[in-house]
Each structure stands twice: as C-alpha cells, then as structure tokens.
C-alpha cells in the first residue's frame, strides 16, 4: 500500500509506493524536486515534514543531524513515508535551479542511427544520478580544455542511461573519435546539465516544435517528458532533414502521433532524392510551419537545430505574430 505526499504551497501531490523514497516517487511522477547524490550525503534534497511520519530504513543519513531530524528536517532521497505526508520543499522549475556538475561517464552503447549520426548511451558511476530538465545539454570535456556540446535525448524519468545523438563532422575532435575508434567501455568526462531549452509548464497554449538534424535529440527528450507527465496541449512537431535516411528514429514520432490525438508529426525534406518515393512535405522546415500556421499569435514555439534554420525561423515567425517571449530555442553551432 502506498502513501500520498502533498507539497505545501503547491497543488502537486503524488503516490509513494511501499519502500520507495520520496525523491524516487516524485521523479516517477514527473515532478522535479532538488537532489544530487541520492545517497544521503550531500543534503541537496533537504526539506521539512510538515505533517506525517517518515523513516530511514538504513539509519539517519550522514548529512542529517539527529536534532535537525527532531526539528522536522528530512532528506527526501532517503526518507520513506510511514503515513500520508505534507512536506515543504522547493520544486525545481527553472534550469537555473539545477547546478551543473563535472562527472565521469562510461559509454555503454554505440549505435548507428543515420549515415552520419550515432547514438551514444552513457552510464554514470554507481549511485550517481544527474538531475536535469528535458531538453538540456552536456558539454563533453576534451583534452586541452576543449568542449563539445550535446543535447540529452532522454527524458529525466528515464535516466538509467543518458542518450546523446552525435553527428559526424569529418576531423571533429569528438565526433571523429565517436565514428572512428570509440569502443563501448570508453570513459568520458562531461559538465552538465546546461542550457535553457526545456518545457515551460506555465502555459496552456498549443506548441509548435521544430527540429532540424540532430536538433531532434532535445525535442525527443521534451516530448517524452511531456507524454510522461500527461501534458495534453496540442504539439505540432515539424522535423527537417535533407534526405529520407537523415530522418533517423522516424518510427518514434510516427508512433507518438499514432498513439496521441494531441500530437501531429510533419517530416520535411530539403533535398529529397530526385525520382524517389518521398511524397511528404519538401523545402525548408520553418516555411512548412508557416504554410500550415500563417498566424503564430497563439502558439508557444520550441526550436532546435543549426543557426541558419533558427535565425530564418526567428525572423519569419516574428512576422507571423509569434510573441518573442513564447519562443524557446537551442541553436547549436557544430564545432569540428
């Protein structure tokens, strides 16, 4: 039998299963509470129990003194409810609430997605988790202080492994290695999470999402997160690629659209093979958006892709009435 936990000052509540920690249950329910080590040692998950009883099956966590516990303080990564609870804790709502960290990660999978795109699966050291907002990115730390940025393509609730989509840039300091020589088991260092590209939950406006190339990665994370937390606002996903083989993981957005009435998916090819069998939309992806939505006044727009796509869309979407404060984008310059 589980217990219900309510968060003071918010209308959020969630069920905690028998033996589950408050933080684990919150994440399972798509709520982001502060945490870091998940081992009782850092104190990041500290809050107060306002009503109800908790227990620590492994004893009082190292970062909590007995007199603090007596006064109602709790470490929610370790606390197990013994009754329904009312708790006081800060909810993470902004990327600025999350502190980026430098961490090692091991490559546990390398997979071809398209002729020039590979998926990397990364695993963090045992007992380490990375709090992040869907759509944020990591910087892979290279020798000589160089960095290469990659969006997280998985959603926060699905964080057993981190998922990156890496496009091959010939001679690229990192992508060159991913496509030539990197093996499973390789050790990386990264800093993250970073960035302000994440789903805003302060809105009930329909959303247009535009993804170009590997800009599909953060959009994938955001849509998987939105589905997980039950967002029902319409999502119109437009995805730009050069040719059909560049629409990697295409079955995924097809499936989102087939299974969810509020999701629509429009792939757009800029260079379809002459004489090929493509009968979908062609041209620039943002122009397809405008052909179908000439008035963007009522929309929230999320875009991720290369700078030329983002800049053209910013200019033309503003002319179509998009409120600049409702435009969220991740423009990535791919450094070799």
**Interface residues toward ligand FES, by CB under 6 A:** 35-38, 40-45, 63, 75, 77
| Helix, strand, or coil (residue 127) | coil
Task: State which residue has the least CB distance to ligand FES.
Answer: 77
Task: Look up residue 233 and give its DSSP letter.
Answer: S
Q: Nearer to ligand FES by C-beta: 40 or 213?
A: 40
Closest distance to ligand FES from the beta carbon of 77 (Å): 3
Closest distance to ligand FES from the beta carbon of 35 (Å): 4
Q: Nearer to ligand FES by C-beta: 49 or 241?
A: 49
Q: Nearer to ligand FES by C-beta: 75 or 103?
A: 75
How many other β-carbons are positioned within 10 Å of the β-carbon of residue 56? 16
Q: Nearer to ligand FES by C-beta: 14 or 35?
A: 35
Closest CA to 322 of 296, 300, 303: 296
Q: How far is CA 25 from CA 1, 205, 327, in A?
A: 14, 28, 32
Under 8 Å between Cβ of 33 and 45: yes
Q: Nearer to ligand FES by C-beta: 81 or 215?
A: 81
Q: How far apart are CA 36 and CA 228, in angstroms?
A: 22
Closest distance to ligand FES from the beta carbon of 165 (Å): 29
Q: Nearer to ligand FES by C-beta: 38 or 225?
A: 38
Q: Are strands 300-305 and 327-331 parallel, antiparallel or unpaired?
A: parallel
Q: Nearer to ligand FES by C-beta: 40 or 272?
A: 40
Closest distance to ligand FES from the beta carbon of 74 (Å): 10
Closest distance to ligand FES from the beta carbon of 190 (Å): 20
Q: In the chain, at which residue ranges do the beta strands (DSSP E only) sit? A: 3-7, 13-16, 46-51, 54-55, 73-75, 80-81, 85-88, 101-114, 117-123, 137-141, 147-151, 162-167, 187-194, 207-212, 235-241, 263-269, 281-282, 300-305, 327-331
Task: Tell me phi and psi for residue 81, to 5 degrees.
Answer: -60, 140
- Peptide bond before 87: cis, by omega within 30 degrees of 0? no
């Amino acid at each position: 039998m589980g217990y219900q936990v309510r968060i003071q000052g918010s209308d959020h509540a969630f069920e905690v299963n028998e033996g589950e920690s408050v933080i684990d249950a919150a994440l399972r329910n798509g709520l982001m509470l502060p945490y870091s080590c998940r081992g009782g040692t850092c104190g990041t998950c500290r809050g107060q129990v306002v009503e109800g009883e908790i227990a620590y099956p492994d004893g009082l966590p190292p970062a909590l003194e007995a007199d603090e516990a007596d006064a109602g303080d709790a470490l929610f990564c370790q606390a197990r409810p013994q009754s329904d609870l009312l708790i006081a804790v800060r909810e993470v709502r902004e990327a600025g609430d999350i502190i980026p960290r430098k961490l090692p990660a091991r490559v546990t999978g390398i997979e071809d997605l398209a002729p020039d795109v590979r998926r990397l699966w990364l695993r963090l050291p045992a007992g380490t988790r990375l709090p992040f907002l869907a759509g944020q990115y990591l910087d892979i730390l290279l020798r000589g202080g160089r960095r290469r940025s990659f969006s997280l393509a998985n959603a926060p609730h699905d964080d057993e492994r981190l998922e990156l989509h890496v496009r091959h840039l010939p001679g690229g300091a990192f992508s060159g290695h991913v496509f030539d020589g990197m093996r499973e088991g390789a050790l990386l260092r990264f800093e993250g999470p970073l960035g302000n590209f994440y789903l805003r939950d302060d809105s009930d406006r329909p959303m247009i999402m535009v993804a170009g190339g590997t800009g599909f990665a953060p959009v994938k994370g955001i849509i998987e997160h939105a589905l997980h937390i039950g967002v029902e606002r319409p999502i119109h996903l437009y995805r730009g690629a050069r040719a059909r083989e560049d629409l990697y993981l295409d079955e995924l957005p097809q499936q989102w659209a087939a299974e969810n009435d509020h999701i629509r998916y429009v792939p757009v090819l800029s260079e379809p093979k002459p004489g090929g069998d493509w009968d979908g939309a062609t041209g620039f992806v943002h122009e397809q958006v405008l052909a179908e939505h000439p008035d963007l006044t009522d929309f929230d727009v999320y875009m991720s892709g290369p700078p030329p796509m983002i800049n053209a869309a910013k200019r033309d979407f503003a002319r179509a009435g998009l409120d600049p404060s409702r435009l969220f984008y991740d423009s990535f310059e791919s450094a070799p």
